[in-house]
Amino acid sequence: MIAGALAVLAVAVGLVLMALSESIVFFHMPSDIKAKAIPEGQRIRLGGLVAAGSVKRGQGTDVEFAITDTAEQITVRYRGVLPDLFREGQGVVTEGKLEAGRIFRADTVLAKHDETYMPPEVAKALKEKGLWQHGTPPPAVTVPQPAAEKK
Amino acid sequence: MIVELGHFALVLAFLVCLVQMVLPMWGARVGDDRLMGVAEPAALAQLGLLIVAFAALTHAYVVSDFSVANVYANSHSTKPLIYRISGVWGNHEGSMLLWVLILALFGAAVAAFGTNLPATLRANVLSVQASIALAFLLFILLTSNPFARLDPVPAEGRGLNPILQDPALAFHPPFLYAGYVGFSMAYSFAIAGLIEGRTDAAWARWVRPWTLAAWMFLTVGIAMGSWWAYYELGWGGWWFWDPVENASFMPWLAGTALLHSAVVMEKREALKVWTILLAILTFSLSLMGAFLVRSGVLSSVHAFAVDPKRGVFILAILMVFIGGGLTLYAWRAPSLRQGGIFAPLSREGGLVLNNVLLTTATGTVLVGTLYPLALESINGAKISVGAPYFNATFVPLMVPLLLALPFGPLLAWKRGDVYAALQRLMVAGLLAIGAIVLVFALVERGPWLAPFAIALGVWVIAGAISELLFRVRVGNADVAEILRRLRNLPRSVYGTAIAHAGVGVMVIGITATSAWQSETILTMRPGETTRIAGYEINFKGVAPSDGPNYREVIGLMQVSQGGSRIVELAPSKRQYNAPPQATSEAGIHVALMGDLYVVLGDEAGDGAWSVRLYFNPLVRLIWIGAVIMFIGGALSLSDRRLRVGAPRRVRRPTHAPAPAE
């Protein structure tokens, strides 16, 4: 019986290691993309602040915006409905792949539940760059609130 | 004044806890009945004081007393009454107060109904319970005082986060906490058992109902959260393997294992050491869940802005109770006497397999949830572990569990006959094979594994029914005899079968909605029609509307099927005024085969709106399954043999008839 339990455990460890090597996704800020030379086509999470004035709606549900960490900026293309709390000037995390010409093709824009919530990776990266502190609004939040409010 | 009274009651409760922690344990050590006797009145007083504190905070919310910082930050005078009340626990401070209140409720239940417990065990249990409450009361008083006042008094509050203004979420935290905190009973009993160096069948009989009750609450709490996420967040999903979700799921998995191992301990006096460990681990995972949710160390879609200092305090509580519990376990567990030997193929063996698979699955979820934290602290790399990881690790462990599940209740204790069980499950097996054929014939798309997963669900349900039929001897007895046996079957047998069937129902729902969900995202102009899963959806345009504390734009969607009108859906985008925040309300049409789910997106220019449509086949079965599991648990709990204070060991002739040996 103990052998059986160990066998189950061994299978589980194998599954965990295999799954971890295949399905983890690294988080990067726009500056990292250049500095670490992230290859195109690798699935990553890209986070930072939505650059003020960068949100452009295209055909249908296509939308384009830029993610910035104030040093570097990356253009993100996304097809779909943006989360309710997506705003210019606020923290955002997207998931997808880098394409030719430093365009990030996102298939997921992570939602959040609360206006003041800042994803910890973004918060930490911004703090390391001295751009943001706990309890204060993010640096670019003074931008006029975009279209969503105009009903 | 009432607010100060609440704060004062909270401080008093802290002092009462201190007394309740020290005196009874000391009394149990030196054998002083008077000292041990302090535990019960203290536990009841603690509950009374916390009710006063909680009522005081609730009062401040109901009358919108914005001089209280917590009310100012989380409430608003225009909010409907129910959300002013649910706002009490819709924030960090209030939810911690609810946590200690429920903790006290469980402690008081032991004090009030535990009269047939051995005196020393009762004193020790209440003492350990008080130590947990003490830690959290200290946490509340030092870092999260819900009664802090504001000066000058603001005229209006900032309001509750609009997505929390929802009926399901109003009751989600109380259920979840009742589950988390309920496992503290198992922990307290385990620690008390270790302190005394004695655990036996009576111990297990005492722990089981508490664990079962906690497990039932947690089941419903998680299901409610999932249901809420499904209809309120507008993503059309019901589970995201998000760290905050995993935080509640891990205690559930461990608690499920504990529930089953406690059965072995009660009936056969075996697996003692393991059951105690599992009791400690289950509550440890509950505490860790509280830490992950309340500290915000993990990136989560369900996380709210938090103060990082509080995380450190909870981490300290975590270390004391997990570290202390495990140290005591390492020290005392070897002295516990093992009893009851059994063959691998037996009821015990089946329950061991259940435990091995469930705890391993808990382990994989734990690794996936904490790996990002570990990696970041090692080399600074920030990663996320998402659904692909969990699908690749968790699901393969559940398959053998579900395959083996129907066998368990059909095997005899000590030594079971697998061949006989197999014969009894023949019909269930045939039904499962029939399900594979049927699903392959009916559905033309989707992953080829899906029909097998559906069959697994059918197998579990049919297996549960087969067990009941076997127990009442359908096929071997006349109708009168069957009816008599049906009446006499213990409720816990029904409870087990029903809860197991609930698992099967849930598996079918999960499989169907994961494999065959349809999704369309498009922009629609008024007058345009689109199709999904046999429905025609005509977008008639948008209309503005005003709610009590929000304004909204409603999308008018006429849904028809085969030319006949069925329903008009009204997905909306709401803009709340306090706090100013936008939310989406999905329009959902519930039908037998699944949900049509419509979300109104953003305006895309010149009258067009982006619209997201889903068809989620059989998705309701997920929550219906959870409710069935709850009902099964409730039936078991009401069983006379499990009930607190029932005469010990009432053997019934129909219980566990030994299959042919």
Residue B150 to residues A135, B93, B97, B144, B147: CA-CA distances in angstroms?
18, 15, 19, 15, 10
pLDDT band at residue B416 under the 50/70/90 scheme: confident
Question: Which chain B residues are closer than 8 Å to A126 by Cβ?
Answer: none
Q: Is A6 within the bounds of a domain?
A: no
Structure tokens at B307: 């103060």
Residue A98 counted as domain residue: yes
Q: Retrieve residue B465's tokens.
A: 């029914």
Contact B386, B241 (CB under 8 A): yes
Instruction: Tell me the CATH number at A40.
Output: 2.40.50.140
pLDDT band at residue B68, thresholds of 50, 70 and 90? very high
**CA neighbor of A95 nearest in space, from A110, A75, A80, A112:** A110
Distance CA A143, CA B215 (A): 48
Q: Is the pLDDT of residue B650 over 60?
A: no
Tell me which chain A residues have a C-beta less than 8 angstroms from the C-beta of B298.
120
B18 and B99 housed in the same domain: yes
Percent of the residues in chain A that have a pLDDT greater than 70, as a whole number? 82
Task: Note down the domain range covering A141.
Answer: 25-145
Q: Does B297 touch chain A (CB under 8 A)?
A: yes
B372 and B248, same structural domain? Answer: yes
Distance CA B641, CA B511 (A): 36
Q: Minimum mean pLDDT among B287-296, B353-362, B621-630: which range?
A: B287-296
Task: Give the pLDDT band (50/70/90) at residue A82.
Answer: confident
Q: Which two tokens stand for residue A119?
A: 């994803």
Q: Which residue has the tokens 């988390």?
A: B180
Cα–Cα distance measured from residue B597 to residue B614, given in angstroms and rounded to the nearest whole number: 5
Nearest to A94 by CA among A113, A67, A69, A71: A67
Domain membership flag for residue A4: no
**Better-predicted residue by pLDDT, B150 or B50:** B50
Give chain B's domain count. 4
Interval A105-129 mean pLDDT: 77
Q: What is the dihedral of CA B171, B175, B178, B181, to 10 degrees?
A: -100
Residue B641 pLDDT level (bands cut at 50, 70, 90): low
Pairing of β A43-50 and β A91-99: antiparallel
Both B230 and B372 in one domain: the answer is yes
* Average pLDDT of every residue of chain B: 89
pLDDT of residue B657: 39
**Distance from B609 to chain A by nearest Cα, in Å?**
9
Distance from CA of B502 to the nearest CA of A (A): 25
Return the pLDDT at B647: 42
Residues B138 and B172 in one domain: no
Query: Would A12 be classed as within a structural domain?
Result: no
Please tell me whether residues B522 and B604 are part of one structural domain.
yes
pLDDT band at B557 (very low <50, low <70, confident <90, very high): very high
CA nearest neighbour of B274 among B329, B324, B323, B318: B329
Confidence category of residue B590, pLDDT binned at 50, 70, 90: very high
Pair (B226, B312) in one structural domain: yes
Closest residue on chain A to B357 (Cα)? A8
Region label for B197, one of left (φ > 0), alpha (ψ between -120 and 50) or beta (otherwise) = left
pLDDT higher than 50, residue B612: yes
A148 pLDDT higher than 70? no
Query: Which B residues, 584 through 613, put their C-beta within 8 Å of a C-beta on chain A?
Result: 584, 599, 601-605, 610, 612
- Is A1–B544 a contact, with Cβ atoms under 8 angstroms apart? no
pLDDT: which is higher, B509 or B653: B509
ω into B118 cis (within 30 of 0): no
| Assigned domain for A9 exists | no
B274 located within any domain: yes
Query: Dihedral angle at the C-alpha atoms of B329, B332, B333, B338, nearest 10 degrees?
Result: -160
Whether the predicted pLDDT of B530 surpasses 70: yes
Percent of chain B at pLDDT > 90 equals 56
Task: Give pLDDT, residue B579.
Answer: 79
Q: How far is A2 from chain B (nearest CA, A)?
A: 10
Q: What confidence category does residue B428 fall into, taking pLDDT thresholds of 50, 70 and 90? A: very high
- Split at pLDDT 50, 70, 90, the class of A136 is low
Give the domain extent around B565. Answer: 518-617
For the residues B188-195, what does the mean pLDDT come to?
A: 93
Residue B655 lies in a domain: no
- Cβ of A57 within 8 Å of Cβ of B604? The answer is yes
A2-23 and B347-379 helices, crossing angle to 10°: 30
Q: What is the 3-state secondary structure (H, E, C) of B390-431?
A: HHHHHHHHHHHHHHHCCCHHHCCCCCCCHHHHHHHCHHHHHH
With beta carbons less than 8 A apart as the criterion, state whether B245 and B239 touch. yes
Is B302 touching A (CB cutoff 8 A)? yes
For B243-288, the pLDDT digits (tens) are 889 999 999 999 999 999 998 888 888 888 899 999 999 999 999 9
Mark whether B154 and B254 lie in a shared domain.
Answer: no
Q: Does residue A40 have a pLDDT over 70?
A: yes
In a shared domain, residues B143 and B197: no
A113 touches chain B (CB under 8 A): yes
Instruction: Report the alpha-carbon distance of residue B400 to residue B571 in Å, rounded.
Output: 41
Long-range contacts of B11-14 (CB under 8 A, 24+ apart): B11/B141, B12/B49, B13/B46, B13/B49, B13/B50, B13/B53, B13/B100, B13/B104, B13/B133, B13/B137, B14/B134, B14/B137, B14/B138, B14/B141
What per-residue confidence (pLDDT) applies to B532?
92
| Nearest CB to B521 within list A20, A81, A125 | A81
State both tokens at A48: 């930072």
**Range B98-108 average pLDDT:** 95
Contact B458, B516 (CB under 8 A): no
Q: Is the pLDDT of residue A18 over 90?
A: no
| B462 domain-assigned | yes
Nearest to A60 among B296, B344, B523 (CB): B523
The Cα-based distances of B123 to A31, B29, B32 in angstroms read: 60, 10, 11
Would you say residue A74 lies in a domain? yes
Is A53 an interface residue toward B (CB < 8 Å)? no
- At residue B135, the pLDDT reads 95
Nearest Cα of chain A lies from the Cα of B612 at a distance, in angstroms, of 7
Average pLDDT over residues B564-574: 91
Residue B650 lies in a domain: no
Question: How many Å apart are CA A119 and CA A49, to the nearest integer?
Answer: 11
**Mean per-residue pLDDT of chain A:** 78
For position B640, what pLDDT does the model report? 66
- Kindly indicate the confidence band of residue A130, based on its pLDDT and cuts at 50, 70 and 90: low
pLDDT at A108: 87
So what's the pLDDT on residue B308? 66
Interface of A with B in 14-43 (CB under 8 A): 15-16, 18-20, 22-28
**B460-480 average pLDDT score:** 88
Would you say residue A19 lies in a domain?
no
Pair B497, B613 in one domain: no
Q: Does A100 touch chain B (CB under 8 A)?
A: no
At residue B552, the pLDDT reads 92
Closest residue of chain A to B342, computed from CA coordinates: A1
Has residue B653 been placed in a domain? no
Which chain A residues touch B364 with a CB distance below 8 Å? 12, 15-16
Instruction: Say whether pLDDT at B658 is over 70.
Output: no
Tell me the percentage of chain A whose pLDDT exceeds 90: 10
Q: What is the mean pLDDT of residues B418-439?
A: 92
Mean pLDDT over B109-127 rounds to 90
Is the pLDDT assigned to residue A145 strictly greater than 60? Answer: no
Q: Are the CB atoms for B356 and A8 separated by under 8 Å?
A: yes
pLDDT at residue A117 greater than cutoff 80: no
Residues B369 and B307 in one domain: yes
Number of domains in chain A: 1
Within B38-91, residue ranges assigned H as helices are 39-62, 69-74, 81-86
Q: Are both B484 and B569 inside the same structural domain?
A: no
Residue A147 with chain B: CB contacts under 8 Å: 602-603
Domain assignment present for residue A94? The answer is: yes
Per-residue pLDDT, B643: 53
